[in-house]
Chain A
Amino acid sequence: MADITLLHLAVRRLVGMAAVMLIVVSIVFIIVRIAPGDPAAVMLGPEATGADVAALRTAWGLDRPLAVQYLAYLGQLARGDLGRSIFLDRPVLTALQERAEPTLLLSLIAIAIALAIALPTGIAAALQPGSAFDQTVMALCMGAASLPTFWLGLVLIELFAVRWGLLPASGYDAPGASILYRLEHLILPATTLGLASAALVTRYTRAGMLDVLREDYVRTARAKGLGERRVVLRHALTTAALPILTVVGLTIAALVSGAVVTETVFGLPGVGSLVISAVLRRDYPLIQGALLVVAMLYVLINFAIDMLCLVLDPRLRT
């Protein structure tokens, strides 16, 4: 019975997801097309005349009515084709696949750094609420969350690349480079993002743990004579994991889709920088395809977290 309820909820969420995606596709298409700017003018450069630009627009089919272009785009999507990037001269899906590696690695390393800092710090702070340690941690979290990531990135570059020569300032890949070469280029950007995310996750961990540690069953566990380590990690953290998991999931989604500033500062060829350059050039197919994929990623991650929460907490199924 419980499995049927879960399946029913999953199907309902999936139908909702499909509707959300259609709305996203339509809004993105309309915004991209009505925004000023023209890929033909960007391609042809500053000395191009209006006639040159108009000729190229015609060649690309951009002079057709918007409705015609929209229907053609929907038909294309129905065939599983996200289109072809104007400037990269390759299928949008291929371009996104090429950029997935740095973004995913960056996100995973950043979230690993964030969790490595946030979980022990948040738990320790919750165990000593109001102490000097707790207040220091909260102040540091507030400071870290307030720092613009581009500034933090530039400071790390200045220290670790320029001053101490330990790590490269920017880039990701080179001809014949190994995975180690690429990982080396991810250390500073992942640290930048990880520190920013750690601040958020620490606060959620502390808050979640504080709530749970006040529960009767935790008091009972302690009264039964269980060790503090077992009480905290086995009993309290398991329950506090739900809100932490939610914020970690959303953080991963935000990192995958929104590490734009960090990718730009560190010259990382990820999905975020791809979207930015596509917007600056008005690479319509690429903007549409990238936003569609990112939206889908968000929706899927949300779906996965919802399902996970339903599995972990049966009360949510009612």
Chain B
Amino acid sequence: MGITRRGLGGVALATILEASTARAAVGVLNVATIGEPPTLDPMLSTADLVGTITQHMHETLYTFGTNWAPTPLLAAALPDISADGTVYTIPLRRDVKFNDGTPMGVDDVLASLQRWMGNATRGRQTGRSIAGIAAAGDSAIRITLTEPYAPLVSLLAFNNSAAIITPAGRQGGPVGTGPYQLREHKPDQYLQLVRNPYYTPLAGPSQFYGGARRPLLDEIRFIPVPDPDTRVAGALTGQFDYIDNLSPEAFPRLDASRTARPVVLKPYGWPVLAMNTKQGPLADIALRRAIQTALSPEDMMIAAFGSAQFGEPAGPMYPPGFPWHSDKGVVRYGEANPEKAAAQAKAAGYAGAKIRLLATRQYEFHYKIAQVAVEYLKLAGFNIELQIADWATLTQRRTDPALWEIYVTSSPFLPEPALNGYMLEDSPGWWATERKRAAVRAFNREGDAGRRAALFADIQTLIYDEAPIFKVGNFNSLAARSTRLQGFNPAPWPFFWNATLAA
């Protein structure tokens, strides 16, 4: 018979146990995160954790609804787009207030978008296509583009490096329009959000990130728990109601638990080997193709995720279910043929130049993928050197083309292809060819959804032909939720409006 709380005596222990029950108050959601967010300004950072937390405090003009379609949030409707695709008129909601009670106005939106274009990675990316932003009356803004740029609404909708709307005179602060507001932040201890008393949800049903966002929980507390085993223990004990970012090895224990349920988001993301197309041996397209031929995505995915339940090889850049999914142009994927690759490299004049592969152990699956890649590339005769660094070092080194040839990274499937780094020319890897430029330009100019999907398939074809990256496969994420958590809708950046806790 196991020991239970009821079986324990003693005044001191009883007092302690009373104290501990405070954490189980109904309406207070405890979320275990992998760590502390680097900032609480979602404009500044592209880190997923920043977006996950701050989306409860700050909102954007648009967000993503069912099937990742952009849908209005602070805007009153989807934009009115001129016939030539260069003028977007965005009507604003009139019922929005910041959490300090002041109403959101045109000036706030204009100031926020200007700051976004000046400070945010995605804002600067978008700003290259923007000729000007101005008020269009007292409840609308007008964005004028230098040329048609179809990803604009998606970029305005994304929750990291986000175009959040904050008061004109207090940009970058905690005052926002979200369903929750910051009460207290003790770094590395907790970040406490409480309801925004001035929040007015959209009418109608919720639609993924869009539609009605009802702050049903009294509080949300984001608690950093860096150790993955401790996060699992916190799930099994019921200490946390939602536990993010767990290792696949935890699945059987969570599946057998009576207090927690596993949350598998399928598909979640894709690991990738980014190649340096700007400098060094892999500036040669023939060598990059030889690397494609050599690698075994199947072995890499098995090493990284253990079973097909959490990761499997898949060549298309987007999985089925996304409008961007297509099999078009997927070549040399999964050949896993080092002998053939060796012949290709020899034909390309490869003479044993060092190939430096950067990876981190902070994301263990990156490291395992790197280990398998190294072995296959050695078999193909490449002089490969695996360089392990912590993530901070890797993110610094990858910005210098003289320091690497390949690095391992990963990303969630982003709702709009234009958000992916490989679509940009200044993203590490620096893929910049005339064919790419033309294909991306055509894609970005096209406003029709069906034609955009076809144009993205052309980009995918180009990715496999010019090999700037090697997509390894699709992986699923594992999180856990308490059996008390209800109304929760799994998403890559989990959100907790509309969720409740059973008593």
Contact = CB atoms under 8 A, between A and B. Distances in A.
Interface of A: 35-39, 41-54, 87-88, 95, 98-99, 154, 157-158, 161-166, 168-178, 180-181, 183-184, 264-267, 269, 273-274, 277, 280-282
Nearest to A282: B392
Closest 8 CB pairs of A and B: A45-B46, A50-B399, A37-B392, A47-B46, A45-B47, A38-B396, A41-B395, A169-B233
A162 B36 CA distance: 24
Contacts of A282: 392
Given A45-B38, A181-B22, 13 more contacts: A36-B392, A39-B392, A42-B395, A47-B122, A95-B187, A157-B230, A165-B237, A169-B237, A170-B230, A171-B225, A175-B221, A267-B225, A281-B392
Contacts of A269: 186-189
A171 B239 contact: yes
Contacts of A166: 3, 5, 8
B396 A36 contact: yes
Interface stretch (B329-337, B367-375, B424-432, B489-497): B424-432
Interface stretch (B13-21, B106-114, B437-445): B13-21
Contacts of B229: 154, 157, 265
Contact of B390 (A88, A173, A184, A280): A280
A104 B188 CA distance: 17
A281 B38 contact: yes
A109 to B, nearest CB: 14
A87 B427 contact: no
Interface in B3-42: 3-5, 8, 15-16, 19-20, 22-23, 35-36, 38-39
Contacts of A264: 226-227
Nearest to B426: A49
Contact of B225 (A35, A37, A170, A277): A170
Given A87-B38, A157-B230, A264-B227, A53 B399 contact: yes
A277 B188 contact: yes
B248 to A, nearest CB: 18
Given A169-B239, A174-B23, A265 B227 contact: yes
Contacts of B23: 168, 174, 181
Contacts of A47: 46, 121-122, 160-161, 419, 421, 427
B223 to A, nearest CB: 6
Contacts of A43: 38-39, 44-45
A265 B230 contact: yes
B275 to A, nearest CB: 16
Given A266-B230, A269-B189, A44 B183 contact: no
A274 B224 CA distance: 12
A49 B121 contact: yes
A162 B20 contact: no
B421 A175 contact: no
B233 A38 contact: no
B2 A164 contact: yes
B477 interface: no
Given A36-B397, A44-B44, A165-B4, A49 B22 contact: no
16 contacts: A37-B395, A38-B395, A44-B121, A45-B160, A48-B395, A49-B399, A49-B427, A98-B186, A162-B237, A164-B3, A170-B225, A170-B230, A171-B223, A173-B186, A184-B20, A269-B186
- Among B122, B227, B229, B419, the one with the most A-chain Cβ atoms within 10 Å of its Cβ is B227
Interface in B402-430: 409, 411, 419, 421, 424, 426-428
Interface of B: 2-5, 8, 15-16, 19-20, 22-23, 35-36, 38-39, 44-48, 50, 121-122, 124, 160-161, 183-184, 186-190, 192, 219, 221, 223-227, 229-230, 233-234, 236-237, 239, 362, 389-393, 395-397, 399-400, 409, 411, 419, 421, 424, 426-428
Contacts of B35: 277
B426 A168 contact: no
Contact of A45 (B50, B183, B186): B50
B172 to A, nearest CB: 11
A50 B428 contact: yes
A46 B398 CA distance: 10
A222 to B, nearest CB: 41
B230 A267 contact: yes
A273 B188 contact: yes
B389 A36 contact: yes
A43 B409 CA distance: 17
B186 A162 contact: no
- Among A99, A274, A280, the one with the most B-chain Cβ atoms within 10 Å of its Cβ is A280
Contact of A87 (B39, B189, B219, B397): B39
Nearest to A48: B121
B233 A161 contact: yes
Given A181-B19, A281-B38, A170 B239 contact: yes
Contacts of A180: 15-16, 19
A230 to B, nearest CB: 34
Contacts of A41: 392, 395-396, 399
A239 B16 CA distance: 40
A37 B39 CA distance: 18
B285 to A, nearest CB: 22
- Among B188, B219, B230, B236, the one with the most A-chain Cβ atoms within 10 Å of its Cβ is B188
A183 B428 CA distance: 47
A282 B390 CA distance: 11
Nearest to A274: B188
A42 B394 CA distance: 10
Contacts of B219: 175
A175 B46 contact: no
Nearest to B35: A277
A174 B221 contact: yes
A184 B16 contact: yes
